[in-house]
Amino acid sequence: MAVKGRFTGARVWATAWQVPFIMGLAAPSIAANAADEGRQAGALEEVVVTARKREESLQDTPIAISAFSAAALERQQIASTEDLDQVAPNLQFASYGPLTGNNSAAQVYIRGIGQSDGSSGVDPGVGLYIDDVYMGRSVGGVLDFRDISNVQILRGPQGTLFGRNTIGGAVLLTTTLPGKEFGGTARVGIGDDNLYEGFVAVDVPIADTLAARFSVGARQRDGYVTRVFDGVDLGNEDTYTVQSSLQWLPNDSLTLTLRGDYTKEDENGSPFVFAAINESQVFPAAISRGNGCPGATFPPPSVPQNIVDERCANDATWNLGKYRNGGNAPAESSLENWGTSATLQWELTDAFALKSITAYRELEWSGSRDADNTGLLVLHTDYSSAGDQFSQELQALVETERLRGVVGAFYFEEAIDDFLLVPFAAPPPLVASGAIPGSLDYQRALIDNDNFALFTQWTYNATEALSLTAGVRYTEETKGIQITSFTVTPLTAPVRIPTTLNTPFVAGPGLNVIPQPFENKYESTTGSASIQYRWNEAVMTYLSWSQGFKSGGFNQRYNVAPPGNLPVAFDEETAETFELGFKSELGANLRLNAAVFSTDYENMQLTYRLGIVPLLFNAGKSSIEGAELELTYAPGQLLVEASAGYLDNQFDEIAVVPGTTQTVGPNNTLPFAPEWQANLGVGYDFEVGNATLTPRVNVSYTSEQFFDAANSMEVAQLDDVTLLNASLTLELGAWRLRAGVNNATDEQYRVAGNSSFSTSAGYAEVIYSRPRNYFVSASVDF
């Protein structure tokens, strides 16, 4: 099962046309985006969405959608995907995946459904698409909005038109297309924590029918958590991106768009800090005894809790506060992510069109973390991964006066080489006495995923007011894996074993290779239907039903060799949602949309601990109910944007998983599913001579939430959080100057957590928000 070379033809095709564009990005350049002029005073922005594979008004689409233009993102201080939960209801978008050590590992949840494990054997629960291209992995899902024209957030299962791993919903990003005239934009910014960022882009008309766009951006910022061991700043940012696009319109019926992008990140580790340690568990007791902690004995429990001594694994010594870390193991995070795509649309007649979307991507990343966040080397992990993916989607689109529809086919394949090293260094006295051996878990997996789907959806306009929509999708998915076994040795000191990814397995002393790959196949038919009625030009209501499906797979982690040394498999999960909504535009300056929904979430894929190892299991069934409200009010120079979300979830059935140390209880709630979420943004345009001065305040509220299915209290965010951002923008002709503050009230709240507190490892870690930070930026259009 080789990884490299599997998509040789696709790689050659993708690289051949992309090389000149990537090279062209090396030179500084400037561009203008004339497509988004922002709103006119006293009027609403027109919002166009593509949730049904065609362009249509947000107000005519019977789906709960939040949509934001580039101008809307900028004025609401939404700089990246992880900020989207400040403006969209029932969305949680967190970075710093706790199980990978990588800063770009996205944890995305919509209406309580998502996935927090960013490892390559686990698929996300919310699909992320860039220019209609599905991004297969959670790592790489934290993206800056440097050259994005719009963002759409589709809530609820999208199992018909999008399919793969959109059981919770989908996030659609669209990059900026080339303009018809030569022009540009340039932007620079500085801020607290030595923030420096810049972005330049250029639109280059090549001929009447051919235009290109090139952009380059960079962002650097110091971390906000300090390791006392070596002074390393965790949570820093060091990112460089380039993008290019070429659009050819030889006639009125044919459009060919070629795109390419490249992202590189080279940063310190995630900003985790110590949350708690369980002095009665095996690892803390063994480490304390072996290092000579006064009064510590082994077997546990016997670690003094009230003395401050670096030889003791206890809270008194290692709880250093919210922004200081006591770890000493390597903490690194790196990523290289690039891809190319070609989109061809051919309008054969006024009623019939064909569309093809072809894409190839490569992703290579690594993450190292000190899991216990102490100076005692209780547990740390080194994770590396390299993979590539190829996708092809074909669509036949029909649009007549009464009937609109799409028939399509989708193919996706990816190959991944994963490497995970987990050393536990037992102190020499314990090893010599035979009380506890050190261990070195060397885990490597080759993963192959293939997906094929056929889909269709049709909308029939029965009358001018009544429309009926129905669709269905058939999916076949194959998951394959080949893994190593692990070795246990008398390890007395931490080690780092270099590895070369994308090479054949070679057995060594104590390292056993399972020669045969394992493979599971999954099939599903999912559907959707809706009925919508437009009561007048201002108000539309709809009732919809949709299904979602996410295939099963294999855990590449394991704690002890399962029977026959087999990987631990898990089954598919499903969701079924009924939704009732209305969309309205009352006059020229008020838009009000709302939805209520009920979801049955079955065979849930949730993370339990088997021993100390996080593994995905099917946890049972839950019911999720909720509501969402979104409002935009734009009278004159005033602009008010608000939304609110409510979630109520409960476990109806709980699956018993033998041997697990963290399980789901009947009173637990789903992770990343706060009961209440709301936001409010208010801005006012003051005309000052030839300039416009706009003060703006954005407030977001999130009620308490848990970060794992076990509802581990030691890492939960148990207080409500109200976050205040503010800015002042001066616009004069082509120039824009902005000064602002994020987290103006300096809230210190938890944004992610990871707990092995009840396992033999006995540790828990959390990430807190970045403290209050100021910024100033300037941009100019040409």
Higher pLDDT among residues 422 and 777, named by residue: 777
- Alpha helices (runs of H) in 7-101, residue ranges in sequence order: 8-24, 70-75
Query: Is 28 part of a structural domain of the chain?
Result: yes
Query: Is 302 part of a structural domain of the chain?
Result: no
Residue 435's pLDDT band, with cuts at 50, 70 and 90, is: low
And the tokens for 287?
């480490």
Which residue, 134, 127, 82, 71, is CA-closest to 105?
82
Q: How many angstroms separate the CA atoms of 481 and 558, rounded?
A: 14
In the prediction, which pLDDT does 216 show? 97
Most confident listed range (20-24, 248-252, 325-329): 248-252
| DSSP state string for 87-149 | TSTTEEEE-S-TTT--TTB-EEEETTEEE---STTS--SEEEEETTEEE--SBT---B-SSEE
In the prediction, which pLDDT does 17 show? 37
Q: How many angstroms separate the CA atoms of 212 and 19, rounded?
A: 14
Residue 556, pLDDT > 70, answer: yes
Q: How many angstroms separate the CA atoms of 715 and 749, rounded?
A: 11
In the prediction, which pLDDT does 432 show? 53
In the prediction, which pLDDT does 14 show? 38
Residue 18, pLDDT > 50, answer: no
Percent pLDDT > 70 in the chain is 87
Min mean pLDDT across 202-206, 450-454, 581-585, 611-615 is at: 611-615
Residue 666's pLDDT band, with cuts at 50, 70 and 90, is: confident
pLDDT tens, 523-547?
999 999 999 999 999 999 999 999 9
CA 181 to chain centre: 35
Percent pLDDT > 90 in the chain is 67
Query: Is 529 part of a structural domain of the chain?
Result: yes
Residue 37's pLDDT band, with cuts at 50, 70 and 90, is: very low
In the prediction, which pLDDT does 512 show? 52
Residue ranges making up the domain that contains 113: 8-279+314-781
SS3 letters across 199-253: EEEEEEEEECCEEEEEEEEEEEECCCEEECCCCCEECCEEEEEEEEEEEECCCCC
Q: Total structural domains in the chain?
A: 1
And the tokens for 497?
């074993």
Q: How many angstroms separate the CA atoms of 154 and 160, rounded?
A: 13
pLDDT tens, 215-240?
999 999 999 999 999 999 999 999 99
State mean pLDDT over 438-448. 79
Residue 601, pLDDT > 80, answer: yes
Residue 444's pLDDT band, with cuts at 50, 70 and 90, is: confident
Q: How many angstroms separate the CA atoms of 705 and 766, rounded?
A: 13
Which residue, 541, 293, 308, is CA-closest to 430?
293
CATH number (domain holding residue 565): 2.40.170.20
In the prediction, which pLDDT does 291 show? 81
Query: Is 433 part of a structural domain of the chain?
Result: yes
Torsion of CA 21, 26, 32, 38, to 10 degrees: 90
In the prediction, which pLDDT does 284 show? 86
* Arithmetic mean of pLDDT over the chain: 87
In the prediction, which pLDDT does 3 show? 39
pLDDT tens, 639-664?
999 999 999 998 999 888 777 776 77
Higher pLDDT among residues 5 and 709, named by residue: 709
Higher pLDDT among residues 770 and 8, named by residue: 770
Residue at token pair 């303009």: 179
In the prediction, which pLDDT does 376 show? 81
In the prediction, which pLDDT does 289 show? 83
pLDDT tens, 133-191?
999 999 999 998 989 999 999 999 999 999 788 999 999 999 999 999 999 999 999 99
The amino acid occupying position 383 is Y
Query: Is 294 part of a structural domain of the chain?
Result: no
In the prediction, which pLDDT does 27 show? 32
Query: Is 605 part of a structural domain of the chain?
Result: yes
In the prediction, which pLDDT does 465 show? 97
State mean pLDDT over 678-687. 96
In the prediction, which pLDDT does 763 show? 87
State mean pLDDT over 658-674. 83
Query: Is 379 part of a structural domain of the chain?
Result: yes
Name the 3-class secondary structure at 317: helix
pLDDT tens, 464-518?
999 999 999 999 999 999 887 665 555 555 555 444 455 444 444 445 555 568 8
In the prediction, which pLDDT does 5 show? 38
In the prediction, which pLDDT does 10 show? 41
pLDDT tens, 715-769?
999 999 999 999 999 999 999 999 999 999 999 999 999 898 888 888 899 999 9
Query: Is 603 part of a structural domain of the chain?
Result: yes
In the prediction, which pLDDT does 614 show? 85
